[in-house]
Amino acid sequence: MNWNDWIPLLVVITSLLPGLIIFTLAEDNVRARVMLNLFGAFAKLALVGLMLWGVYFGYHYETRLPLLPNSDLVLRAGPLALLFVTLSTILWLVTTVYAIGYLEDSPHRSRFFGFFSLCVTATVGVALAGNLITFLLFYELLTLATYPLIVHRGTEEARQAGKTYLRYTISGGALMLIGTVWLYSLTGTLEFTPKGFLSNIGEQHYPALIGIFALLITGLGVKAALVPLHGWLPLAMIAPAPVSALLHAVAVVKAGAFGIVRVVYDVFGVEFAAGLGVLKPLAWLAAFTIIYGSIRALFQDDLKRRLAYSTISQVSYIALGVAIAGPIATIGGVVHLVHQGLMKITLFFCAGNLAETLGIHKVSEMNGVGRRMPWTMAAFTIGAFGMIGAPPVAGFISKWYLGLGALNNDQSWVIFVLAGSSLLNAAYFLPILHRAWFMPSPKSWPHEHNFGNKETAWALLLPPLITAAMALAAGLLVTMPFSPLEWAKLISVREFYQP
């Protein structure tokens, strides 16, 4: 093995090793914990940057280690994998800074940051997986690493949310395992391949392949929060704000959506899947989830629950783009992996700031908060307009490509779904912004924390400002060579729609 063969494994280790060491640290050893977190995050960022440059110019990065008879543990850095890895790596660094400020003086910080690092390790493993068995291994590790973060507060409500999360995700994992074993019994391989590896299979196996597709998509749909598999997600909002941000923007929900992309394009192949007739039901399910999540968000007074239902809606844009089965729609769906992550993590950071600084947890408590916390609400406003799809924020780019791709593939009904969703997005975000900026402030806030003359602690304020700026830049600088949109186009050409 040469140096390039080791880099994908090193990317995984740069969060795994610090996480394992952090478990051993005493609670009062803040300096060592911070240094380990930041060292791992910056080391991972440097390695990912190296791979981005290399893959752009045609270099190959793959780690292959023995795992099972006739099935290796494969970590491979292709354009699609690096899109997700780069998002995870950048947002891990930003979320680490936020979590350090958010959890200051809180108990069990070593436990929290240990599992936090394992969660990122599993997410990166999911992204770099070169075959379905490697994907499944890290996918289940993600379930186990995330559970302690959800129940971190230790309350009865948190424990119940954790139990619900495990019931859903372990059941989904079991379905994925059945589908994976069944698929291997038919094909003898699980290797991710551009355009899939099933096109030469006999027609007598088509009914079995439809069943396998249903099992895999159902298993992935649990984490992707497709209706009716979404019930765990609003309950998981009992977790601390850094965990909520991680769940919605980087880790669990995105792992499910990313897995759907892998199954459609690298297992079945989009043309073969369309021929089997499995993509239309997926498109209808994604469309229903988009509208359902938006409608439920309208009626949530709890701010984090409103954002949770927004996530249920927004992540299904990715599945919809995949199911439309055309290159333009695919670009829109894939780029939304990044765009939704940047916008949604901004919103959850801001929600955490409101809770920690003023004790605000409900939309009805946000009157005039924009004058008390102008920078936080400015970042929230950018994230909200992006979710609505207003230019020039990144969300507009995603919806534009999804709509254009739908028209290009003679699926004009998708336009009505996108338009309806945008109207509903506006209906549940604009009242928040009206309250925050235009309504009079109350005489006192629910539970104000004194930060002197500052809006809030710098470790809480800086992350949402960075991610809001990134969401805005992703919309303004779409033609730059390494923009998320240009990289999604590269993925479409090199991996999905090769000549």
Helices (H) and strands (E) in the chain, counts: 20, 2
Helix (H, G, I), strand (E, B) or coil at 260: helix
Gyration radius of the chain over CA positions: 21
The whole-number average pLDDT for the span 23-30 is 86
Rounded Cα–Cα distance for residues 354 and 366 (Å): 9
pLDDT in tens, 335-367: 999 999 999 999 999 999 999 999 999 999 999
CA distance 499 to 195: 11
Does residue 63 sit in helix, strand or coil? strand
Q: Is the pLDDT of residue 245 over 90?
A: no
Is 235 a residue whose pLDDT tops 90? Answer: no
CB of 361 within 8 A of CB of 305?
Answer: no
Can you give the pLDDT at residue 105? 73
pLDDT band (50, 70, 90) for residue 1: low
173 near 223, Cβ under 8 Å?
A: no
Q: What is the pLDDT of residue 352?
A: 92
Taking the C-alpha atoms of residue 450 and residue 350, their distance in angstroms, rounded to an integer, is 17
pLDDT digits (tens, 9 = 90+) for 254-272: 999 999 999 999 999 999 9
Q: Tokens at residue 468, please?
A: 């809001």
Give the integer Cα–Cα distance in Å for 75 and 408: 35
Q: What's the whole-number mean pLDDT along residues 82-91? A: 93
Mean pLDDT of the region 298-316: 94
Cα separation, 232 vs 168, in Å, equals 7
Q: What percent of the chain has pLDDT above 70? A: 99
- Amino acid at position 124, single letter: V
Q: What is the pLDDT of residues 152-165, one digit of tens each?
A: 888 888 899 899 99
Tell me what pLDDT residue 498 has.
62
| Amino acid sitting at position 444 | S
Q: What is the pLDDT of residue 455?
A: 87
Confidence of residue 428 (pLDDT cuts 50, 70, 90): very high
Task: Write the pLDDT tens digit of every residue in 209-229.
Answer: 999 999 999 999 999 999 999
Q: Are 394 and 480 in contact (CB under 8 A)?
A: no
Question: With a threshold of 0.85, does the pTM exceed it?
Answer: yes
Residues 6+ apart with CB under 8 A from 422: 388, 389, 399
Which of 12-16, 195-199, 321-325, 421-425 has the lowest average pLDDT? 195-199
**Helix, strand, or coil (residue 160):** helix
Provide the token pair at 208: 């079995």
Nearest Cα neighbor of 411 from 291, 286, 324, 313 is 324
**Predicted confidence (pLDDT) per residue in 375-405, tens digit:** 999 999 999 999 999 999 999 999 999 999 9
**Rounded Cα distance, 380 and 213, in Å:** 38
- pLDDT for the residue 499: 55
In which residue are the tokens 């947890």 written? 361
* Mean pLDDT estimate for the chain: 91
Centre a 10 Å sphere on the Cβ of residue 31 and count the other Cβ atoms it contains.
Answer: 9
**Separation between Cα atoms, residue 99 and residue 109, nearest integer Å:** 10
Which pLDDT band holds residue 314 (cuts at 50, 70, 90)? very high
What single-letter DSSP state applies at residue 492?
Answer: I
State the pLDDT at residue 101. Answer: 85
